[in-house]
Amino acid sequence: MKKKTFWISFDLGLNGDYEGLYRWLDSHNALECGDCVAVIKDFEYEDEFLEYLHKSLRESVKFREGKDRIYVIFKEDKTNKTKGKFLIGSRKTSPPWKGYALEVANFDED
């Protein structure tokens, strides 16, 4: 068995299976890191980390296709680089903060 520390971000909407996810997080001694973010230290897995994690989550949580999202941040073994990946769902096409930054218009004035 190998061990890995990783962060997990979750968005299950209003009617998601939070009970199943919380049970899974609790069984892995996850530490709370803010709204919908946790860290899991020394997660034991076999072979491929992401495949094993995906299978473990799917066995415990009832995910709704197209609605629920799980994002993990971890250090890749081969490159030792920090990576992030959606295990469930995908990135939203337009983030909620879109349009908040002040855009500077380019005007040529004489």
pLDDT at 35: 95
pLDDT at 101: 87
Backbone φ, ψ for residue 4 (5° rounding): -150, 145
Domain spans of the chain, in order of start: 2-88
Q: What is the dihedral of CA 40, 44, 46, 49, to 10 degrees?
A: 10
- The structural architecture, per CATH, of the domain 2-88 is 2-Layer Sandwich (3.30)
Q: Which helix (H) or strand (E) holds 20?
A: helix 18-27
Give 59's pLDDT tier (boundaries 50, 70, 90).
very high
Q: What is the mean pLDDT of residues 82-89?
A: 97
**For 3-44, what is each residue's pLDDT tens digit?**
999 999 999 999 999 999 999 999 999 999 999 999 999 999
Residue 104 has pLDDT above 70, yes or no: no
Residue 63 has pLDDT above 80, yes or no: yes
Q: Which residue has the tokens 């803010």?
A: 34
pLDDT at 93: 87
Cα–Cα dist 42/15, whole Å: 30
Average pLDDT across the chain, whole number: 93
pLDDT at 106: 65
